[in-house]
Structure 1
């Protein structure tokens, strides 16, 4: 799946399937585009738990971490 990596304040990172990042939580804005990344379930990627990320994209439309710790559920509130 084609995904887009964004950086928020501090050590916040977001991943989404939307190139603009418009669906990322505003509470962690501003978001700065970092790069486009192809993620494939079961294939490791440094610094990203790919399967967890893809699961979050299916459920929430985005995946958010703080210092590599998943915070997607609280970000979705």
Structure 2
């Protein structure tokens, strides 16, 4: 799945399938586009737990990390 990464303040990153990041939590706005990445459960991706990220995308529409630690539940 193609996901877009956005950078928030500090070491906060948001992952979403929305190329504009419109569904990311406002708490860390403004979100700055960072890069896109193809994630798959079958392939490891450095710096992100692909399974947790894809589960969050399916359930909430986004995945949020702070210093590589999942914090998505704080915004759902």
TM-score (norm 1): 0.95
> After the TM superposition, which residues 14-25 of structure 1 pair with which residues of structure 2 at under 5 Å, given as runs?
14-25=14-25
Are the equivalent residues in 2 in contact too, given 1:42–1:51 (CA < 8 A)?
no
TM-score (norm 2): 0.96
SS of the residue corresponding to residue 54 of structure 2 reads helix
Moved beyond 3 Å, runs of 4+: none
List gaps (5 residues or longer) in structure 1: none
| Structure 1 stretch displaced more, 34-43 or 6-15 | 34-43
The CA deviation at 1:75 is 2.2
Q: How many residues align?
A: 76
